Amino acid sequence: MAQFTYSDLMATDLGKLGTAVSDWKAMATDSARRGDPGHNPPGPGLIISDGPGGTVRVVEAMCTPEGPDQRTKDRMQWYADTIAGIVQHAAEVDAAAVRALRKSHGNDPYNAGHASYTSLDQEQLPRAKELAGLGEKANEKQRAELRRLWESLSPEARAQLWLGRKEDLMAAGILSPTMPQIAADGGAGRHDSQSAGFDEWVSRQKMQLLTEGADWKGMTDASRHMDHYLGNSGRPMQLPVDKMMADVPAFKSYVDDTVRLNQEEWRRKAVEEFKKNGGKPVAFPVEAKQPEGYYFAQKDNENWFYAVGGANSNVTGVVTAVPDADGNPKVSLDYQANVWDRYNWDEGKGVNVGPLDIPDGQMAKLHRVGLAQEFDMAGTSDVRHYDLGSANPDGNPLPGPGEGRDGRTDAGRDQQQDRTTHRPPGRTSVR
């Protein structure tokens, strides 16, 4: 094979991209077409294609009169967002490479007498610092770009950014989960697809009384979620994860176990990267989830049983290794717990609070007749710091649940406008 020269590289239209993204897109496309055969009922296959204006279009391989259920919609959105993000990221890397090469060699492919260049970090780190400086003021598009840059930086450059802009990065949502946030089931069906009868109006009135009764019994979260369901807006709501851990110690243990199951591997990788980088500070993102989600049982906490029931949860964070006074690696973890779920009612599930009860299936039917509406729920805990040790792992207990971001343990925070806060708007198309 002939040697690939700098002239060849400068003559290449890097904006056209190629191999890496094409291979990844083909892999994701094959996965989408297979569907979700392991789920009960199996998820349908999906077809991915280019959409207008640089978007990605995802549709069901076999269309049905009733359309996709909620779980399928979530899968479609995840594929659309992920593939569009990968393509955008590759284009950004190409642009950074062109800028770096021009700094190093100028526009003349035969003149190599310009500034030295050793890494894309020199191009990407300044932009990442600029975006991180926006903090909570960063919009969704800027947050998405910041995340892509964050994942592209070398461990050394990432540590420089994290140690210097930690608060800004957290405010910009850099710890938001990246794994698919997909509903556990298809939900009750299409909203407002049937006509309401007398029984449904009676059930709605009974549920309104139940929300008041639940609040009177101290089940404030269950009451608020029932009331939001009846409010029929479908807007997402925020979950107070710190309060959930404080109210249900078993859930706090579940989160702690997620960290403990992975901390040794994280520590090992940090020490390895630290040595590889000559004892300089390094940082890398981590994300971990247990095989099964967490179920808030009625016997453990009736409030969270009715407010959430079963939910998905994971841990996201940043592992850093910095030199101690003797130059040895000191490894630590900054992490948060994330919870997400969809508020819906199974066909076989009713509710009973005090003297009032609603029979099985009636709660779900309120969604189909348009008297209530399912909605997404999600939230994050406060960020916690934990020392992972150096040559040996740290055996100290993990931090306990603290107050909320606003200094309260009250769960009645503002509603989220989107469950997946890192999702860039206007880039994807799901039909």
Which DSSP string do the residues of 367-422 spell out, in sequence order?
HHTTSS--EEEEEEPPPEEEEEESSSB--SPPPPP---TTS-----PPPPS-SSTT
Q: Which region, left, alpha or beta, applies to residue 57 given φ > 0 means left and ψ of -120 to 50 means alpha?
A: beta
Give the predicted TM-score (pTM) of the model.
Answer: 0.73
Answer yes or no: is pLDDT of 261 > 80: yes
> What's the confidence (pLDDT) of residue 190?
86
The three-state secondary structure class of 79 is helix
Residue environment code for 337-361, b if the CB has 16+ CB neighbours within 10 A, otherwise e: bbbbbbbbbeeeeebebeeeebeee
pLDDT at 33 over 90: no
Least reliable range by pLDDT among 63-77, 164-178, 347-361: 347-361
Whether the predicted pLDDT of 417 surpasses 50? no
Percent of the chain exceeding pLDDT 90 equals 47
What is the four-CA torsion angle of 357, 359, 363, 368, rounded to 10 degrees? Answer: -150
**Of the candidates 307, 382, 303, 290, which has an alpha carbon nearest to the alpha carbon of residue 341?**
307
Rounded to the nearest 10 degrees, what angle do helices 140-152 and 70-105 cross at?
A: 60
Distance from C-alpha of 80 to C-alpha of 148, rounded to nearest angstrom = 16
Question: What's phi and psi for 148, nearest 5 deg?
Answer: -65, -40
Amino acid in the structure at residue 158: R
What pLDDT score was predicted for residue 312?
A: 93
DSSP class of residue 45? P
Going by pLDDT thresholds of 50, 70 and 90, the confidence category of residue 35 is confident
- 111-125, 184-198, 238-252: which has the minimum mean pLDDT? 111-125
The pair of three-digit structure tokens given for residue 205, joined into one six-digit string: 């009135």
Mean pLDDT of the chain: 78
Instruction: Determine how β-strand 429-430 pairs with β-strand 56-60.
Output: parallel
Between 165 and 87, the higher pLDDT residue: 165
